[in-house]
Amino acid sequence: MTNLIEKLQSGERLDADECAGLYDLDLFTLGKFANAKRRKLHGKKVFFNVNRHINPTNICADVCKFCAFSANRKNPNPYTMSHDEILKIVEKSVAGGAKEIHIVSAHNPETSWQWYLEIFKKIKEKYPQIHVKALTAAE
């Protein structure tokens, strides 16, 4: 760990194992070095991303204790959007300056991974400049 900190302080390039070691740093230490690198590269500039979150469905086959989103839990209004509804949201978002569309959803037994791939493809065909950030590890 000491060698990793020394390399971060000197600005030396990290190898793959050292990069993995960044996960072992506490958040404040990691943030300190990330901020120093940002300042070195960009000075006082700060960057942000304009994005739009879209949740195509809240119908979920799972019952996760932490979820307050699923229609199976606390939300009595189940829905599944059509691809056209999603594309309308994307269109309004792009017109409003969005650079990224973030799509996460529920584990709806009526929608397949192919259903998601189709909407991602439709978005990229119509808006190739948009970054599609989608699905969680569970999805």
Residue 72's pLDDT is what? 65
Q: How would you write the pLDDT of the chain (139 residues) with one tens digit per residue?
A: 678 999 999 989 999 999 999 999 999 999 999 999 999 999 999 888 899 999 999 888 887 777 767 776 666 788 999 999 999 999 999 999 999 999 998 889 999 999 999 999 999 999 999 999 998 887 7
Residue 74's pLDDT is what? 64
Which pTM value belongs to this model?
0.70
Report how far residue 49's alpha carbon sits from residue 43's, in angstroms, rounded to the nearest whole number: 18
What is the enclosing helix (H) or strand (E) of 20? Answer: helix 16-21
3-state secondary structure of 41: helix
DSSP code string of 46-110? -----EEEE--B---S---TT-SS-TTTT-----B--HHHHHHHHHHHHHTT--EEEE-----TT
Residue 133's pLDDT is what? 95
Residue 73's pLDDT is what? 61
Residue 134's pLDDT is what? 94
CA distances, 12 to each of 20, 45, 88, 90, 136 (Å): 15, 23, 47, 42, 33
